[in-house]
Amino acid sequence: MANPSLSSYFSLKPENEQLTRVHANLLQWYAAEHRDLPWRFTRNPYAILVSEIMLQQTQVLRVLPKFEQFMAAFPTLADLAAASTADVISVWVPLGYNMRAIRIQSIARQVMKEYGGCLPNSIEELLKLKGIGRYTAGAIVCFAFKKQVAMVDTNIHRVLHRIFLGPELSEPGLTNDQMLTFAEQVLPDGKAYDWNQALMDLGATICTNSNPQCSRCPLRDACKTYSEMSQYSLFPSGTVLRQLRKVAEKKEPYQNQPFTNTNRYFRGRIVDHLCSLPEGQRVPLTLLGPKIKREFREDDLIWLQQLVEKLSKDGLVDYADEGVRLPSS
């Protein structure tokens, strides 16, 4: 069961009957089953920006309480831009990927300086903001400004490919730019908001990467992947889930060490510890080391210094000869 070549994907527009069924079934499912998420009850572009940055590589359940806390601490884009970086990081912790806190404040400051404090309402202008990519720009103009635009994140990419193009069995697969072109072709007229949210919900709850719940899927009868993998002789009925799991397993990155042994883990530990200190207090590396690593040795000082120097370069800490602290600017 070979997939078509990349060049032929865009000549394979879905049949009108399939597209009509998918539009109707998915939007009907979303109307009844959508997740009640706080950023879906607002058209505030700033709130949507915050939610989209937080949701990058982070599960919704972890984002929910932090989103509410962050919006309470910095209710407007102007508040975020004016806050100290240390305060922004302190509120962000322990959500993880702390560079996102620096990035979102940088975006806020750029908007205050160059756009009069109002986030632009076009993809072209949003892409001029450092730290905003095509997906986030699309989410803001669609969810805040009600524009008819397509967007592609991991969930949307997977769902559209499985429904319309078939199983992702060949490498290399479609790039995000190629999938964006396809997503624009299947966007239902006047329904971009619900459609994009529905694709993300389906990918997050049913059409998941390694454990798709095909029996519960509202698009099963219109899904090319389900049809092909159920009927093809090598994949008799009843083995669809197992085959999709095998595909997902091949795409899983190989983990050659536990997360708690990685530099990213210790970077987070450093920031977490600095957040627990009184404002402005520096801690020498010789005292910081045992706080973040149980079996810290003198030989680890060079490694720790390299971590701190990288954090300083990223803007997450202020490092000087006398020690390290959260940045104040």
Residues with catalytic roles: 52
3-state secondary structure of 320: strand
With 0-12 / 13-18 / 19 or more C-beta atoms within 10 angstroms meaning exposed / middle / buried, residue 77 is buried
With tokens 């090598």, the residue in question is 234
CB 241 within 8 A of CB 211: yes
Asked if 97 and 57 touch (Cβ cutoff 8 Å), the reply is yes
- Of the candidates 253, 257, 255, 264, the residue with the CA atom closest to the CA atom of residue 310: 264
Instruction: Please tell me the total number of residues recorded for the chain in this structure.
Output: 329
Instruction: Give me 56's structure tokens.
Output: 């990058």
AA identity, residue 182: F
- DSSP SS3 for 283: strand
Read off the amino acid at residue 52: E
Number of Cα atoms under 13 Å in the Cβ half of residue 89: 30
Residue 263's Cα: distance from chain center in Å? Answer: 21
Give how far the C-alpha of residue 243 lies from the chain's centroid of Cα atoms, to the nearest Å: 26
User: What type of residue is 155?
Assistant: N
Q: At what angle do helices 263-275 and 301-313 cross, to 10 degrees?
A: 70
3-state SS, residue 319: strand
Separation between Cα atoms, residue 118 and residue 97, nearest integer Å: 26
Helix (H) or strand (E) holding 325: strand 323-325
Helix axes 285-292, 263-275, angle to 10 degrees: 110
